């Protein structure tokens, strides 16, 4: 399998990115992806947000593609929410991430 380029995009004041990172690590482990490097991408301002097409913190990119893509005209520093089985949260569950990894690998 080709190497995965995994990025977690976040901004400094985000209260959820560390939980998202832990869930990503759990998902990678459960999918037996042990050689993946996770690159943390700090979004510092609106210019970075526009350049990276930042959809909010935390965002998860694999091979340059957002795992939960959406079309937008404007990008800015802000928190992102995910619809989980427990309702809206500031980060996806490990199971949600695991399912996205499975679709990428097939």
CATH number at residue 28: 3.40.30
Q: Which residues contact 42 (CB under 8 A, 6 or more apart)?
A: 10, 11, 12
- Asked if residue 59 is part of any domain, the answer here is yes
* Whether residue 3 has pLDDT greater than 80: no
For 12, the token pair is 């400094």
Helix (H) or strand (E) holding 86: none
- Asked if residue 35 is part of any domain, the answer here is yes
Largest CA-CA distance found in the chain, in angstroms, rounded: 37
38-47, 51-60, 67-76, range with the lowest pLDDT: 67-76
- Asked if residue 1 is part of any domain, the answer here is no
- Asked if residue 19 is part of any domain, the answer here is yes
pTM for this predicted structure: 0.92
For 18, the token pair is 């560390």
Say if CB 27 and CB 105 are below 8 A apart: no
Domain range for residue 47?
6-105
Count up the domains in the chain and report the number.
Answer: 1
- Asked if residue 97 is part of any domain, the answer here is yes
R_g over Cα of the chain: 13
- Asked if residue 61 is part of any domain, the answer here is yes
* Whether residue 82 has pLDDT greater than 70: yes
Q: How far apart are CA 17 and CA 31, in angstroms?
A: 21
- Asked if residue 90 is part of any domain, the answer here is yes
């Amino acid at each position: 399998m080709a190497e995965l380029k995994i990025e977690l995009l976040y901004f400094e004041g985000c209260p959820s990115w560390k939980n998202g990172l832990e869930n990503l690590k759990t998902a990678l482990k459960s999918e037996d992806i042990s050689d993946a490097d996770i690159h943390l991408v700090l979004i510092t301002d609106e210019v970075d947000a526009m350049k990276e097409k930042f959809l909010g913190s935390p965002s998860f990119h694999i091979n340059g593609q957002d795992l939960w893509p959406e079309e937008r005209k404007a990008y800015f520093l802000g928190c992102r929410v995910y619809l989980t089985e427990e309702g809206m949260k500031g980060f996806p569950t490990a199971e949600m991430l695991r399912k996205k990894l499975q679709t990428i690998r097939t």
